[in-house]
Structure 1
Amino acid sequence: MSDKISNRGAPVDANGPGKKGFDWRMLAGIVGDGLLGAVGRDPIYGPNMWKLRQQQAEHQNRMAQQAQEWQYRNNQPDYATVGNRRFSYNPATGEAQTLYVAPSEAEDYATALGAQPGTEEWNTYVQDYNLKYSGPTATDLNMQEEDNKQAGRVALEGVRQNNRVGLESVRQGNRMSLRRSPTYRDTHPRPSTARSGGSGGGKGGIREGQTATNPQTGAKVVYRGGKWVPAR
């Protein structure tokens, strides 16, 4: 009977894991299985112990497989994308490696315009894309536009200055003409209160028949009847 039981596998410690001493539970189980066998019945303790042992072995196998899978996964490289770069990280060695560097949007923009990478034109386009309105091309255009505006302002100021000079010349000419023109008093002198002898005497010291020239028009006038009239 003991040989049959031993062939079913070594039973686990019935006293519990970690406990020392004689296993009375196992002995009782063996004796019980022997009594059941003596009366023609199937044993109970031995098959249960064997089933428990199998479950423990399967559990240990599963734990070992999970540990291997966990170790395998942790040893696999980890991949990440940062910006336009693709990296791989090896957790076993702690090293990172750059796998691929994609062109940036600015570089794609420069290439789309037909510039060759590394040339001055290509670098200018890249800066234009990154700096937008502060890029080299935008700055040059702004400076050119400001130069055109400044040239326009200078030309307009020159026109205004010429207009001012011309207007002042006209005013000065008018003032000079006005100064040379005879006044109303020149053409209409006040009568003199002094009496002069003779019928030929005029008023204010002006003699009858005296002539004069208009400085503005150049026309000649003559003094007749106490006033200036055009000479005939």
Structure 2
Amino acid sequence: RNAYRSGNMDDALENAKKLVENYSDTYESYVWLGQVQSDRYELDDAIKTLKKSIELNPDSYNAYSLLMGHHIAAGTQVMLPEEKRDEELGTKYGDELIRTRGDHGLPYHLKANVYRQRGEFEKAKPLYEKSIQKRKGLSSEGTAYLVSGHNFMFGGDLITARERYAKAIKLTKTPNDWFNLNYYLLVSYMFDNDYIGAIEHIDKIEQALESKDFDEVSLLGRKATIHWQKMACYAHNQMEEDAYGALEQNLKFSKT
């Protein structure tokens, strides 16, 4: 897989085909070939290859995952052209993920994402709850709370969204993750047109920055960012003098 990791996709394809030739009775070889073909945008070939993996092993989780991702957005996976996507088929592949790994949180997360993308937030809720339950104590628990927070926010329940974001923030392990997830909590106030609440939240972030072990350059960058955010909130609230003051601080930290 060195060719794949280095981005040499021609060699990666050749090696994957040799793997299938040498191990044609193993479903894993077809999954790997399907992965390479997908990343090369050879999607018709990839689909045939992945279906072969499922013929060999009807519980081929990775094959179902790749097939689902051809139809429904899942991270950075290559998707079929829009006119060829079949959301219903993608959802069925999602059901297979739950069937084969119902003890894991990710399958529930992926299917919940389908409903969230459709705007069916109520249908997504119990699936996100399952995802949270299955990820308790794992490194992905924070992600489960985060995406559940997105679902509540876009569904209009901003109080619960903030509770979920706060839980995700509490589980962060690095200063950057802490800072980045606080952004979603900030957005929840802006989404509600509560710019005073947003400013108060930014103030809390600013007060905590010094204790988060950022290196000097990163700390200055984060200070510049929060003053830019303050400027936007003040401007929305037509607080012109405060907006200019925040902009000056942003420029100060940006130039340092």
So what's the TM-score if we normalise by structure 1?
A: 0.17
Greater strand proportion: 1
Structure with the higher helix share, 1 or 2? 2
Higher relative contact order (CA 8 A, sep 6+): 2
Give the TM-score taking structure 2 as reference length. Answer: 0.16
